[in-house]
Amino acid sequence: MASTLHAAIAAHRFGLGEADLATPGADPQGWLREQIGPADAARGEGLLTTAAAVELVREEQRARREARRSAAKDPQAADPLAGHYRETIVADARSRLLTAVGSTRPFAERLQWFWANHFTVSLAKGATRGLVGAFERDAIRPHIAGRFEDLLWASTTHPAMLRYLDNQQSAGPHSRAVALIARRARRDDETPRITGLNENLAREVLELHTLGAASGRGPDGPRGGYTQADVTAFAAVLTGWRIAARSDAAALPFDAAWHEPGRKTLLGRSYGEGPQALRAVLADLACHPSTARFLATKLARHFVADEPPPALVDRLAARYLRSDGQLAELYRELIASPEAWAEPAVKLKTPEEFVVSSARVLSLGRVEAGAARLPAMLVAGMQALGQRPQAAPSPAGWPDRAEDWLGPEALWKRLEWASRLGDRLGTRIDARELAARSLGPRLGPTTRQQIERAADGAQALALLLMAPEFQRR
């Protein structure tokens, strides 16, 4: 019984749901450990590399400049850029969900989701259009099981992050670019004014990606404690990191003309100028005790409980520091922790988790004819439940606590979606057999009885999907 229960926990809490608990097998911890490594390549058609996505952005910028000139001649002209990014955005969203539904390494895929949300780049801001999918594929997927420093570097310097948090507009007050623009502005009223440093990226890297918002001291040393002066200094370090206007520019998104010259002092340490300074700052942030605790808390919250057990957080943070920020070691510590296997399940599935786990448990990739309709159905499901793919409402990402996803309207929308699936598949899927096979000993007597007494197959399937044992992980 214990191994079957752990198989159910591995499948639903660490993974994304399984139709058969034989998949985790008799060694659920071993099944999870085998999945530790870079995330699999994303599936789907029409996906762009980062370089191709950046060129799409450049094309849009060139076309928009031309459109502004044309609009001066014909103000009633239609916007030629309507739908410029539509195909890319649709392909990215469908790929994210289709990859998760079909993955044979669901733990790795869940970790990819976790880090993509930690380093949020959202379609809610127009500047990221066309880049979000490439960010997840190139900055997140290859690095989820390496050193956190490398993941931090890849995400911070990716063009999507630079545009999302406005580093594109940040210029050193004493940089060559500001001096040149100031001279042009005196001669040309149409030359855009540059206001100087933009602190958005600096602040979010400190608060959301590394140290966290907490300050003061704990038993393991300083926690957070950065000042406004640190944010400003970090913003100066980040100047110059931007997408160049020319496609023949160097691959590294750094333009020295925009960079603030001179040394900068951040968290009591001095850093030089140039692109190498950012690498040094990120390396120091990655090994900071506050970063270790912040990441440990978020990981424990995601997998275990909205209020994570302090002892688990302590062990995760200690393992992180001992291993020099090796994320694979952090995952091994999590898998080996008794708190991670405790029942009852208390984490509520987000809409994305609910939609994807439903598709995996119902084997929709095989049930739906050729799976041709599956990606669009999953995207529509997420949107109906209030979580548009890759469109988190803020740089803090999607919330990870049950209270943020509970409410009468939210539960009603879940019931509507489950009922539609039941109507479509109820005659083809035996909900009673599937409940026992996919939930095992987690299936409680009340839910079992409700499914057995359902009026028909459609209602039985909807009851399974809405059961607490399925809604919680």
pLDDT (tens digit per residue) in 160-204: 999 999 999 999 999 999 988 887 766 655 545 566 899 999 999
Percent of the chain scoring above 70 in pLDDT: 90
Q: pLDDT tens digits, residue range 418-465?
A: 999 999 999 999 999 999 999 999 999 999 999 999 999 999 999 999
List the domain boundaries for the chain: 167-286, 351-386+407-471
- Mean pLDDT over residues 113-141, rounded? 97
Give the mean pLDDT of the chain: 91
Supply the pLDDT for residue 69.
Answer: 72
- Beta strand pairing status for 264-266 and 221-222? unpaired
Tell me the pLDDT tens digit for each residue of 328-360.
999 999 999 999 999 999 999 999 999 999 999
Q: Is-contact 329 344, C-beta < 8 A?
A: no
146 vs 221 pLDDT, higher one = 146
* Interval 54-73: pLDDT, tens: 999 988 888 877 777 776 66
Residues of the chain with pLDDT > 90: what percent? Answer: 82
Radius of gyration of the chain (CA): 24
Closest C-alpha among 245, 246, 155 to residue 201: 155
Q: In the chain, what is the straight-line distance between the N-terminal and C-terminal CA atoms, in Å?
A: 18
pLDDT computed for residue 220 by the predictor: 45
Residue type, 378: L
Q: What is the pLDDT of residues 348-405, one digit of tens each?
A: 999 999 999 999 999 997 754 445 688 889 999 999 999 999 999 999 999 999 999 9
Give CA angle at 325 (10, 40), nearest 5°: 50
pTM for the whole structure: 0.93
Confidence (pLDDT) at 219: 44
pLDDT at 66: 79
pLDDT on residue 67: 74
